[in-house]
Chains A and B, each alone.
Chain A
Amino acid sequence: MSQTAATDRIARLFEQKGEEPVMSLFLTAGFPRPEHTVELVLGLEEHGADMVELGMPFSDPLADGPSIQYASNTALEQGVTMEDILEMVRGIRARSEMPLVLMGYINPVLRYGVERFCRDAAEAGADGLILPDLPPDEADLLAGHAEAHGLRLIFLVAPNTSDDRMRLIDERSRGFVYCVSVTGVTGAREGEEVARSVQRFIGRVKENITRNPIMIGFGIRSHEDARRVASQARGFIVGSALVDLIREHYPEEGWKDRLFAFVRSLKYGEPTDSNN
């Protein structure tokens, strides 16, 4: 049953959006505090997010930059468990039909049990799964279970990924392909760097990735970045910039409003005082 729903949510989103870019936002589960997560995700949707990636914190997030590393540590210090994260997913799913993707590292998933994880995550209402330290070459240990439970396993391509490998990744990916716009860890970068890097490899991406929609992430922090990037793909992903904004303003009054204003500005380019 979850299989149909999951298949539908991500696929339906890209279908419904047509030419319009899809905005996917990343938030670490349990950051800044576990009790905020459900409400924050619903808020992101209300203010323009089309899809949300919920980060499952890990003690050694080696593909992440300082921002998401900080958010993960904060969440872990507050004792966030896999059960808590799945409960958050249920909470969100009870009030929203927005596609939800879980993003994290393989070890906590292995520890929870790969089959049990795929089943429970799908049942809770998650639609997809991104594990940056699980390249397609190692994914056999999980891919079958994800498929069986209708959890979309999404792989990444990077600027140094070869053409052949891009086609392999396209073949293995379900839902969409995540394009890492620059080599390196997650985190906001100068817009020019992102744009130059994207220009260089986006042509190859489009030639080789034909089965799945292409989402571009890593280093996007403004509407300008997003617009440039989105014109080349089906959509864009923002994470670290959100975490930075929360980190800067939580728990001062109005921190959430600032966050949501920033989210609107990302999507629509409205001027906002929180984007400085």
Chain B
Amino acid sequence: MTYDFPDASGYFGRFGGSFVPETLVPVLEQLRTSYAEAWGDKEFRARFRHLLREYVGRPTALTLAERLTAHYGRARIYLKREDLCHTGAHKINNAMGQVLLALRMGKERIIAETGAGQHGVATATACARFGVPCIVYMGEEDMRRQQLNVERMQLLGAEVRPVQSGSRTLKDATNEAIRDWVTHPGDTFYVIGSVVGPHPYPMMVRNFQRVIGEETRAQIEEAEGRLPDYMLACIGGGSNAIGFFHPFLEEETVAMYGLEAAGEGVETSRTAATLTRGAPGVLHGSMSYLLQSGEGQVHLAHSVSAGLDYPGIGPEHSHLFDRGRVDYRAVTDAQAMEGVKLLSATEGIIPALETAHAVAFLEELMPQTEEGELVVLNCSGRGDKDMSTITEWTGREK
């Protein structure tokens, strides 16, 4: 199977594209050209790799999870440790890439949106590193849930702008960031935090995140002399998952699972399971699966994890879903909490609530695996930021 997406118009099959106000069309054209030039420029690539190595801390480890493996007594489980990246999650790879591109393009002002705050922290970090002004849009509800990250961003010199419209979460923060961008198209660079948005963002963010999968491939081959049998990653917008999966997409022996947030259950209205419950539509500049009403109004998503609490998903995931290349499953809030406990207790790694969705799926996957098989789980981020949510939840259970 050869896999070569997106096409020249930014489409992954029937998904993607560039559904934006006219003001942004020239801005995106400029971005496409600049990105293609930069990505084709050896010096830019070398500078990006250097930053990832010397500042972000790459390559991140591929850790054999011995006690977790023993817990299930089946396939061997490895963890790709994006939680070891500077700032605590994979988001920094992309933020560094985009800020580097913004500097090359001579943009003087960086804006970003954030849900859980990890992307905001990553962007604020990259901006502090290079001395560029940074504005982060964040829903008021998310600011409440992720107070610690708000303080981190402020300490890093970013201005966090509270968003009061709509659900006061990531969806509305994204709307506000786009409004800002439409108003200041000349001097502003919008650092999108996932593989969503208009072309070229889904492709560009994927390429900045591909380092996760490239390292994984080299590391598992070194450790085991072969490719994994199963790969697991959580999906909100889907950037950690696509970066992790992408270098393996043509390997038909590798089974891939994308775990989206079921929230309180896919049968309830309080869910963020876009592929399980959504239908194709247009939000934030691209065609993809979307949680929406029969009238085409966008539904509010719900997940205990602010980073997965988004009604859309990257268009490339919608395409992989249509093709059946990746198996997308939904994991509830309660299951994710069990995942947090399991990984913490067996491996001494407190995962982000996002990552915990992938951990929780092991309950279902592992009994079907066999000894000698290999599972690699992308540990997309660490859980420090979620401690108050976890404590609240544990308190309710008692």
Contact = CB atoms under 8 A, between A and B. Distances in A.
Interface of A: 58-63, 65, 69, 73, 76, 81-82, 105-112, 132-135, 137-138, 155-162, 165, 169, 180, 183-185
B183 A183 contact: yes
Interface in B280-308: 280-285, 290, 292, 294-298
Contacts of A62: 21, 175, 178-179, 182, 284
A156 B23 CA distance: 9
Chief secondary structure at chain A's binding surface: loop
A137 B25 contact: yes
A137 B18 contact: yes
Nearest to A169: B22
A90 to B, nearest CB: 19
Interface in B148-185: 165-166, 171-172, 175, 178-179, 182-185
Contact of B22 (A61, A81, A161): A161
A107 B23 CA distance: 19
Interface residues of B, number: 37
B19 A106 contact: yes
Given A183-B182, A183-B185, A185-B182, A111 B23 contact: no
Contacts of B294: 111
A28 B18 CA distance: 25
B23 A160 contact: yes
Given A65-B179, A107-B292, A58 B297 contact: yes
Contacts of B296: 58, 82, 107-112
Contacts of B295: 81-82, 108, 111-112
Given A62-B178, A160-B26, A185-B183, A108 B21 contact: no
B17 interface: yes
A69 B166 CA distance: 10
14 contacts: A59-B297, A59-B298, A69-B165, A107-B282, A110-B281, A111-B281, A111-B296, A134-B19, A137-B25, A138-B18, A156-B22, A160-B185, A180-B22, A184-B183
Interface of B: 9, 17-23, 25-27, 165-166, 171-172, 175, 178-179, 182-186, 279-285, 290, 292, 294-298
Given A156-B21, A162-B26, A107 B290 contact: yes
A45 to B, nearest CB: 28
A185 B283 CA distance: 17
A56 to B, nearest CB: 10
B21 A133 contact: yes
A133 B282 contact: yes
B149 to A, nearest CB: 24
B289 to A, nearest CB: 12
B169 to A, nearest CB: 12
A138 B296 CA distance: 18
A12 B25 CA distance: 32
Nearest to A109: B296
Nearest to A160: B26
A-B residue pairs, 5 tightest by C-beta:
A111-B296, A108-B296, A184-B183, A158-B23, A59-B297
Contacts of A155: 22
B22 A184 contact: no
Contacts of A161: 22, 25-26
B25 A63 contact: no
Contacts of A185: 179, 182-183
Contacts of B18: 135, 137-138
Contacts of A162: 26
A41 B279 CA distance: 34
Nearest to B23: A158
Contacts of B25: 135, 137, 161, 165
